[in-house]
A and B are shown apart, each in its own frame.
Chain A
Amino acid sequence: MKLHSNPWLRTAYARLWLRAKSIYGEPLWVAVNIGFPFFTSFSLTMVYRAYGLNSFTGFAILGGVMISFWGNVLWSMASQFNWDKQVGLFEIYITSPAPISAILVGMSLGGILGTAPSAAMVAILGWVIFHPPINAVWPAVISVFALTLASLYAMGMALSSLYLAYGREADSVNEALHEPVSLISGVYFPSTGGFSPFPLAVQAGASLIPLTLGMDALRRTLFFGQGFGELYLDLELFSLAIMGVVLLFASSKALKYLENKGRRTGTISVRQR
């Protein structure tokens, strides 16, 4: 199938290109994006190291890598349509024949491409400075990483439709969500399983967030030498795949619902509430 003959692919490619270009066209973005994840990851790695817990330093570095993507999902996926609405772009999306799902997928792929350099820098700097002990099964690491990003960005798509219904609250909700989700997802420490200090109910609730399962699976494959065929890891991979599909479906339905509601009530292009 040729790209130019398919409007869905053309739209997704156009949105991907735009997002990637906005990052790679301004190399300073990489320096800007690396600040928060690097220093947080550095500090928490130092906490592990300063108190003689060297075998855990890799957890904090991995957390720094994944927090870059989580930040991107919140700030550049979830709230993007809301911002687009404020500047008048969303009504152009709606009135054009471009499929919204293609715009979302393009935005996600562009976001992943755009965040990759800063995430890689955190990983490289962490590796060079701290030399964390690694016992990786690389095919499993790559699969888990890809599935985690897929379901994480699918969650971003679902949130983007939710945020569309909000006005100025979106930014504050984002700020309020960032740290608590990082905490219960166990970005810097295991929040589920044997190492977790949290009660079972909290662990069960946290497991409904793709980032929690992804982080746990990444730690298993990267630091504990687990590969395909390990029951718990396979379960996590399966759950991540299911979550990705469900969230993708939910985001498409929610957007369609909000679009129809916005058309009926005439609020689709109302910018500030």
Chain B
Amino acid sequence: MSLRAMVASIRVGWYREFNWTNPLTGFSLRTVGPLASVIAASTVYYVGSTNNVPPSFEPSRLAYILIGAALYAHVAAYSWVPTLAIAEGKWTYVFPQVYISPHSSLPYLTGRTLASFVTSTMTVLVSLVLSFYVLSSVFHTNIPFMVNPLSVSLLFLAMLVNIFAALGLGLLLSAYALFATKFEWALPTYVAGLLMVFSEALFPVSALGWPLSAIANVLPFTEFMRASRQAMIQGGTVYSYFSYLGLALLGGIVVLVMGFLAFRYAENRARRLGVIDKKTA
């Protein structure tokens, strides 16, 4: 895979995301949504638990939901970029042009994903910090976060490791998007929704019941959430962090290989069928 092509694609990704306005406005508008959804999910727990009889509010659970909601939004924001790049690229004739230049489609999709990963990482960090301060002051509570250079570095490492799984998922969806001519843009909302339910973003997957909980337990996204919580919430241990991170890495590599193989197969088949530039059913 050409590094130069990938770097060029990262630049294309940023131009696509911010070219319509100045970067600060673009970044602010992209942060407002995740910030609001993090606060909303946390408030759901707060309202329910403080009005429960007897009240059952626990700051550690609030921290659990806050981290999960922010990181879920992060994964959902960039894992669907490869699908978007293909669906939108077909309409704007960009993707067929990328495809006909040699060995470019995979670096292009990877570069677009990485560009979105960087943007989304900044967005999620701002959301986390702001929601931490907003919720602490509105709910008058101490959210038991562990904020020091080591914990933030460990969170960032977990986010980096999760790129494997997210890119793999993006490539799996892209394999479908090559053939789809309608509703392909809706597929990522389903996948994002499923991630919200199955990745332990807001509640423990054990609440889902068997066999759904068993499936959710082995997903790399679930392990990523667990590792991030070990890094950021008081009471986490380094041993647990690295155990979860290892599982997230292992699962991520499996998903990435699956995504890569599925995309290669789909690309060859789409070329033979002549649907790379097909826009309507």
Contacts and interface: CB of A to CB of B under 8 A. Distances in A.
Contacts of B50: 197
A51 B32 contact: no
A49 B202 CA distance: 11
B41 interface: yes
Given A169-B20, A183-B39, A53 B52 contact: yes
A179 B47 CA distance: 18
Given A44-B202, A172-B26, A180-B33, A52 B56 contact: yes
B45 to A, nearest CB: 6
Contact of B40 (A28, A46, A49, A188): A188
Contacts of B48: 47-48, 51, 53, 56, 189
Interface stretch (A8-16, A33-41, A134-142, A248-256): A33-41
Contacts of A49: 207
- The range of chain B's interface size is 35 or more
B33 A197 contact: no
Contact of B186 (A32, A44, A53, A199): A32
A187 B197 CA distance: 19
B190 interface: yes
A189 B207 contact: no
A176 B41 contact: no
A190 B202 CA distance: 19
Contact of B29 (A50, A55, A173, A187): A173
Contacts of A43: 193, 196-197, 201-203
A168 B20 contact: yes
Contacts of B36: 179-180, 182-183
Nearest to A168: B20
A47 B26 contact: no
A47 B51 contact: no
Contacts of B47: 56, 189-190, 195-197
Nearest to B58: A51
A157 interface: no
Interface residues on A, range: 35 or more
A6 to B, nearest CB: 36
A46 B202 contact: yes
A195 B196 contact: no
B192 to A, nearest CB: 8
A175 interface: yes
Interface in B183-213: 183, 186, 189-190, 192-194, 196-197, 201-204, 207-208
A158 to B, nearest CB: 21
B196 A169 contact: no
Nearest to A56: B48
A39 B41 CA distance: 13
Contacts of A28: 182-183
B240 interface: no
A101 to B, nearest CB: 31
A131 interface: no
B24 interface: no
Contacts of A56: 47-48, 51
Most chain B beta-carbon contacts within 10 A, residue among A39, A60, A190? A39
Given A39-B190, A44-B202, A52-B52, A197 B46 contact: yes
A160 to B, nearest CB: 20
A50 B190 CA distance: 22
A21 interface: no
B43 A189 contact: yes
Given A172-B26, A180-B33, A51 B196 contact: no
A178 interface: yes
Contacts of B217: none
B46 to A, nearest CB: 6
Closest 7 CB pairs of A and B: A39-B193, A53-B48, A179-B36, A50-B203, A50-B207, A32-B186, A180-B36
Given A35-B190, A49-B207, A179-B40, 16 more contacts: A35-B193, A36-B189, A39-B194, A42-B193, A43-B202, A46-B207, A47-B41, A47-B44, A51-B56, A51-B61, A56-B48, A56-B51, A178-B33, A179-B34, A182-B36, A195-B51
6 contacts: A32-B186, A35-B193, A39-B194, A51-B48, A172-B29, A188-B44
Interface of B: 20-21, 26, 29-30, 32-37, 39-41, 43-52, 56, 61, 65, 138-139, 182-183, 186, 189-190, 192-194, 196-197, 201-204, 207-208
